Each structure stands twice: as structure tokens, then as C-alpha cells.
Amino acid sequence: MSRQEVDLFVIGGGSGGVRAARMAAEAGARVALAEQSRMGGTCVIRGCVPKKLMVFAAGVPDALAEARGYGWDVAPARFDWTRFRAALTAELDRLEGVYRGILSRAGVEVFDQRATLAGPQRVRLADGREIAARRVLIATGGRPARLEVPGAELAMVSDDIFVMERLPETMLVLGGGYIACEMASIMAGLGVRVTLMHRAPQILRGFDNEARELVAEGLRARGITLVANAQATAITRDGDGLRVADTRGGHAGYGAVLMATGRDANTAGLGLAAAGVRTGAWGAVEVDDFSRTSAPSVWAVGDVTDRVNLTPVAIREAMAFVETEFRGNPVPTDHDLIPSAVFTDPEFGTVGLGEEDARAQEKVDVYATTFRPMRTAFAGGAARVMMKLVVSQATRRVLGCHIVAPGAGEMIQLAGIAVKMGATKEDFDRVCAVHPTMAEELVTMRAPVRSD
């Protein structure tokens, strides 16, 4: 294309930015996109995809142990991080190529360099060129935040996990959110002795309490040491490892430290203020329901807006933006009742309100069951799963569904359809069970275990 004027300039080549660029180009717009790092963004290169592949790798030891319970002779196994990392790198290279191909076929001009706003309708590239744009879309995502403690630079952040030269023997994971819990679970599955330190009384703040407790129980069963109500205060070098001081007055050594203590919007130095774009907490771009910023020619989608920081949400926001601005069909993004999953072991899938949040709004009936699933119980495993429905007493609508079980992410995707449609408990009850499955419990629970 090589024009100095475009209909849309997208800053950021992650899932949201690429989807918006491709769809706008297919709608007939002249589109350019700049990405200073690798195409695919956090999800493809530094997040969801490599993380899920590591989840698969970390699950192999349990599968081998289970195989023995089913009568298979399995030789002792050893994990080769170097070989896995090489295969992971090759897969990420392939996926980056897929994303570049998508943009190329759509006719999007790509600039592999940093871009900033030079004004409401001008973009400045790192090489000094300026491009006029009728619309600018900010899709720069987020970046890991570090604790402000001495020695914080010695710790890894989530971006670093996938490029480690070797696996440490021991690791301290700082944080109690889903990234911290997932990484702790993965590392433990790969044979690392893990301590998870979080400043709250329990992990996964904001999720259903009963589910949180069962996930914590599962992490402990995996050999992870959970340290609650504590935070690191300093990190120092200690030979080949690191020594960490904490708020309890403790000092301990680890082979590596991972900070998974939140993420900030990736807006530093983008020139937003000069272009009239307002930002809020953690640098997040303030937008309305149509992803419009305070500058009439600038929009923003994805984690940079800190609305619901999930890849599918960024993609939906991008699609709504294009539908509104390039197809003349105003579409706000629906951020209500979004299913999500935490890929720990045990896995946790959730949609809607947790029991505590629902009870704060209205009277509810809670239907829940925990049990040892057939597959692992037969092989001698002690792991428990949970199926839970939170139901409005007034309308009988299912306000929340929470699953802690192998494959919970797959199950909650389907349960989310029913919850989103406004299904009642009686709608669930009318569905015949698929037997024998874990998920059949969602349609066979008849009496509430708790009621207001």
C-alpha cells in the first residue's frame, strides 16, 4: 500500500489489533498496523498459547501415574526442558507467520517498529515517518507489573517463563491471581519445587470462595507450598539463586523468583495525552461502550482498556469497532456473563456470579456437589471435583456456574451458553444426563445445599 494517509492505523499486533485491521481492510478500508515486538501479541507469543502448551506438558506426569493404575507398565520418565522449549519456539514462530499471512492477504500494510501518536490523526513511526490516519486504534495490550521492592529486577515476570534457559529446582511465585496460580501449577507439574506467596488470605480473589478453596487444596496436593498473608520485601542474589525477605520476617532461598503480581496497560510513551486521550488507573485508556476514547479520532480495544482482560473479549471488541465504524452498524461490546477458565491443576471454569456476590444482591439457592471422579478414583487418586450452580430464588435463573475439574474450561464454555441465555434451574433439570460423566451432576442436583 505504502501510502502516507490511511483510513485506519492500528497500533499493536495482538489478537484485537490484528482482527480489527483484517476486518477493516476486508470492509474496503486502507489499513496500516505497527507492532514493535512479535506479531500475535501477548496471547500468542507470551501468554495463552504457550501457557496452554505448558499445561499439557505439565499434565504428563499425572497421566503416567494414572496409566499405572490402569495396568500399564510405564518406564520412569524425565522431562527435557530444552527439547520442549525448542518445539515451543517453533510453534510460536509458525503462529506468528499465520498472523502475518492474515494481514498480508487482507492488504494491511505492516510496520515492524514502534508507533506513537503525534496528534489525534497522526502516527509517528520509530524511523521518523509520520502517517495521517482518519482513525487510530490503540491495541497495545498490557505488560507485567513488578513489585516496587529492592531487587525486583532480579525476578522473572510471566513473559520470561517461556524463554528460560533451564528449569530451576525451586521457584517462588509471588501473587495469588490466575497467572500466578497457573504458573505455579505448571512449574510443579514439570518437577520444580514451588512456593506460592500471596498477600491475601486465599488465592484467586474475586472468584467463588468454595471454588477457590478447592483449587488451593489441589495445588497443595500437587506439592505446592502456599504462603498466605505475606509479600516479598526484598530480593538479593545468593550464589546461583536468589534470597527473598518477606513481610513475616522470613528469609528463604530459591532457584528463581517469578513476579505474577498484576499487569499494567501498555500505554507509556504512546503520546496519548498530547492527542487528547484520557487514561485512568494503571495507565488504562478510558473508553465508552463503543471503544471510543476522549479523542474523537482514536479508539482502543483489548487489555489496554482494562475492561475484561481476556483475548476473546479483545477480539469481540475489535469486531464491534469495525462493525460500528466501517460497516455503519453501531454495535457495543457485551461484557456481561463472560465465561473464563483458570488452567491450574485442578482446572477451574466459571461464568456469572460467585455465591458471595450473588447473595449480596438477592436471595439465592446454592446447588453444589463435590466428589472423586471415576477416572482418577479408579487409579487411586484422591483429587476431588466440584459442580456448582448459584440460583436466584425469585426468578430461578442460574446466576453463576462454577466447575473445578479436569476439562473444566471445556465444560464451562458450553454451560456459559445456557447461563447467557438466562436458563433457569428447571431448564437445567429438564436436560437428560449424559452418563457416566462428571458434568451430568449439573443436571441432576435436585436439592439446594444452602439457601438464604
Indicate which CATH number applies to the domain containing 353. Answer: 3.30.390.30
pLDDT, tens digit, 9 for 90 and up, residues 344-379: 999 999 999 999 999 999 999 999 999 999 999 999
Q: What one-character DSSP code corresponds to residue 154?
A: G
CB atoms within 10 A of CB 104: 11
pLDDT, tens digit, 9 for 90 and up, residues 169-179: 999 999 999 99
Quick check: is 224 in a domain? yes
Quick check: is 219 in a domain? yes
Quick check: is 240 in a domain? yes
**pTM here?**
0.96
pLDDT, tens digit, 9 for 90 and up, residues 366-420: 999 999 999 999 999 999 999 999 999 999 999 999 999 999 999 999 999 999 9
pLDDT computed for residue 451 by the predictor: 97
Give the count of domains, the chain: 3
Quick check: is 333 in a domain? no
Same domain for 34 and 75: yes
Quick check: is 334 in a domain? no
Same domain for 405 and 362: yes
Same domain for 281 and 135: yes
| Structure confidence at residue 1 as a pLDDT band (50, 70, 90) | very low
| Structure confidence at residue 167 as a pLDDT band (50, 70, 90) | very high
CA distance linking residue 266 with residue 45, whole number of Å = 16
Same domain for 431 and 320: no
Q: Alpha carbon of 249 to those of 201, 233, 245, 246, 256: distances in Å?
A: 17, 9, 7, 6, 20
Same domain for 90 and 58: yes
CA distance linking residue 133 with residue 31, whole number of Å = 9
Active site residue 435: yes
Same domain for 12 and 124: yes
Q: To the nearest whole number, what is the mean pLDDT of the chain?
A: 97
Same domain for 354 and 287: no
Cell 471454569 sits on residue: 349
Quote the distance between the C-alpha of residue 46 and its chain's center.
11
CA distance linking residue 246 with residue 205, whole number of Å = 21
Quick check: is 332 in a domain? no
CB atoms within 10 A of CB 244: 25
Same domain for 283 and 177: no
Same domain for 11 and 140: yes
SS3 383: coil
Identified catalytic residue from 198, 251, 402, 435: 435
pLDDT, tens digit, 9 for 90 and up, residues 295-304: 999 999 999 9
| Structure confidence at residue 281 as a pLDDT band (50, 70, 90) | confident
Pair 250, 234: CB distance under 8 Å:
no
Quick check: is 374 in a domain? yes
CA distance linking residue 433 with residue 452, whole number of Å = 28
CA distance linking residue 190 with residue 333, whole number of Å = 39
| pLDDT tops 50 at residue 2 | no
Range of the domain at 255: 152-261
336-341 CB contacts, 8 Å cutoff, 24+ apart? 337/416, 337/419, 337/420, 338/308, 338/310, 338/312, 338/313, 338/416, 339/412, 339/413, 339/415, 339/416, 339/419, 340/310, 340/412, 341/408, 341/409, 341/412
Indicate which CATH number applies to the domain containing 186. Answer: 3.50.50.60
Same domain for 352 and 223: no
Quick check: is 269 in a domain? yes
Length of the chain: 452
Same domain for 303 and 271: yes
pLDDT computed for residue 323 by the predictor: 98
Q: Alpha carbon of 26 to those of 136, 152, 331: distances in Å?
A: 17, 45, 18
Same domain for 10 and 114: yes
Average pLDDT of span 311-322: 98
103: region left, alpha or beta (phi > 0 left; psi from -120 to 50 alpha): alpha
